Amino acid sequence: MEKLFEVLLKRYEKKLNSMLVGIVESHGSSPRKKDAFMIVGADGRVYGSIGGGNLEYQSILFAQELLKTKSSHIENFDLSNRKSARLGMVCGGNVRVVFAFIDYTDVNIRNELEKVIYSEENKIPYDFRVKIDGRSEFIIKKDKYDGKVYIFGGGHLGIETSNLLNHLGFSCQVLDDREEFLDRNNFHENIFIGEVDFENLDQYLKIQKEDYICIMTRGHVMDYEVEKFALKTDAKYIGVVGSKRKIAFVNDKLKKDGFSDDDIKRIVTPIGLDIKAETPEEIAVSIAAQLIKIRVERI
């Protein structure tokens, strides 16, 4: 969600009006459920999705028309078999879609966007309000923290995984102890990259219980240091890339440090869903799929 507001603020600063389009109610079968959002500009969709297909396509066209008149609107889409032929969809449900005009000349909007981004960064609950018709308001309410993905290792897999997860709406940090593996050009601008000492991670990081830890360092020793740190946190997810030999080596060292079998069972290894992935790109997909599953199960 943080990225959604960052995109809106960047467009605001460029003096570009935007339409924030979101599903506020969903009944029956529909492409996306409540709280799916996208940003539409004069040239089309800029960021996000409300489910794709013709519903999204028609919503983009509608948003572009509303941008011309600088107005907001709420529209009901019936996706039942009887009435959805005009959309080319027969999902069997219906959705209520809000089209909220974001005016770059409105100083209050800028203040609201900055407040929300600050709240996201500092894990503070917030309400983001946009006037719809002068009387009612469209409200995005956030009362829980999404969690960040901490990726340890900036090699090929770290690059592929972080960029894919960023595209899927996760907030990512990539950390390595080698400066040459943190080339800004390899990572999307929204991804934080940082050089750290793997043996002193507690000096850099404060992991929350909603966070994800993905370990893909260059070898046994660094994996061990990061896993030892990770097991001392309340992270929801700890995933590690590695062969059976490396896993056995690290687990043995962790047990000698006093970690129990139950502690070690917190570690997901091999990382990701089993889709027979081999290349860094394929493994990144398997990791992303696993994190999506965990994220959905939290809702």
Summarised one tens digit per residue, pLDDT across range 202-242 is 998 999 999 999 999 998 899 999 999 999 999 999 999 98
CATH of the domain at 193: 3.40.50.720
Domain co-membership, 124 together with 188: no
Compute how many other C-beta atoms are within 10 angstroms of the C-beta atom of residue 40. Answer: 25
Answer with the one of 142, 158, 188 that is the final residue of a domain: 142
Domain co-membership, 136 together with 183: no
Answer with the one of 142, 175, 190 that is the final residue of a domain: 142
At residue 32, the pLDDT reads: 47
Give start and end residues of each alpha helix (H) in the chain: 2-13, 53-69, 107-121, 156-167, 220-230, 244-256, 261-264, 280-298
Residue appearing with tokens 């790109």? 281
In 3-state terms, the chain is what percent helix, strand and coil (to 5)?
Answer: 40, 25, 35
Compute how many other C-beta atoms are within 10 angstroms of the C-beta atom of residue 109. Answer: 21
Domain co-membership, 199 together with 129: no
| Residues whose CB is less than 8 angstroms from the CB of residue 282 and which lie 6 or more positions away in sequence, other chains included | 275
The answer on pLDDT for 30 being more than 50 is no
Residues 241-261 have pLDDT tens digits of 988 888 899 999 999 999 999
Question: What is the residue-averaged pLDDT of the chain?
Answer: 87
At residue 85, the pLDDT reads: 47
Domain co-membership, 248 together with 118: no
Domain co-membership, 98 together with 44: yes
End-to-end CA separation in angstroms for the chain: 14
Q: What is the DSSP letter of 104?
A: T
Residue 255 · residue 230 · CB < 8 Å: no
Domain co-membership, 97 together with 182: no
The answer on pLDDT for 36 being more than 90 is no
Compute how many other C-beta atoms are within 10 angstroms of the C-beta atom of residue 154. Answer: 27
For residue 124, what are its two tokens?
């503070």
The domain tally of the chain equals 2
Answer with the one of 122, 142, 162 that is the final residue of a domain: 142
Domain co-membership, 18 together with 134: yes
Domain co-membership, 138 together with 157: no
Domain co-membership, 124 together with 216: no
Q: What is the DSSP letter of 184?
A: G
Distance CA(15)–CA(134), nearest Å, equals 23
Residue 72: domain span: 2-142
Domain co-membership, 176 together with 224: yes
Residue 100 · residue 130 · CB < 8 Å: yes
Domain co-membership, 115 together with 183: no
Mean pLDDT of 91-95: 66
Residue 97 · residue 74 · CB < 8 Å: yes
Residues 272-296 have pLDDT tens digits of 999 999 999 999 999 999 999 998 8
Domain co-membership, 128 together with 160: no
The answer on pLDDT for 192 being more than 90 is yes
Q: Place 129 in a pLDDT band, splitting at 50, 70 and 90.
A: confident
